[in-house]
Amino acid sequence: MKIDKRLIEIKEYQGNGYKPLIDFETWRVAVLKYCDELLPENITVLQRHDESDEIFVLLQGNCTLFIADGKEEVGTIYHEPMELLKLYNIKKSTWHSHTLSKAAVVLIVENANTCLLNSPEIVLNEDEKKMITHVIY
C-alpha cells in the first residue's frame, strides 16, 4: 500500500553547491555539495549569521570548516576537519566558510529566514586568504 503523500515529503538533491530542501516554520534543512567556489584558493569571503546558529553534519566525503574569531574584523582563522555524522554548531555571529571534497555531502540546519540581509560577508585580505589556502583534505 502506498503512503498518502500528505503524510510524508521526500526530497533529494543531485546537483552541486548549496540547496535548501525543506523549510518549516522557523527552520530549514539544506544540503551542501562540492562546488568550485568553495575550493580553498577560491574562498574570498567569510560569512556570519547574526540571528541564529547553523548546524553542519558531514554525511560523506570530506569537509573542513573555517572559523574565525573577531567581531567586526576577522581575527585568526581556524580550520576544523569534520568527522562523519558529528554535529558541528557554528555559533551565532561567528565568521565561517568551508571547503569540500568532490564526494562530500553536508546536511545543514538553519533558520528558515537565513539570507544575505542577516548574514553579512567580509572580504578576506591576502594574509587571511593564506590561512585558508594551505588546507588540504
pTM: 0.90
Is the pLDDT score of 99 beyond 60? yes
CATH level 3 topology of 19-133: Jelly Rolls (2.60.120)
Q: Are 95 and 67 in contact (CB under 8 A)?
A: yes
Residue 106: what pLDDT? 98
Q: Average the pLDDT over 103-123 and give the result.
A: 95
The CA angle 77-95-14, to the nearest 5 degrees, is 100
Residue 6: what pLDDT? 87
> What's the pLDDT tens digit per position in 36-94?
999 999 999 999 999 999 999 999 999 999 999 988 889 999 999 999 999 999 999 99
| H or E element at residue 91 | none
Residue 135: what pLDDT? 66
What distance in Å separates the CA atoms of residue 79 and residue 51, rounded to the nearest whole number? 23
- Which residues have CB under 8 Å from 15's CB, separation 6+? 33
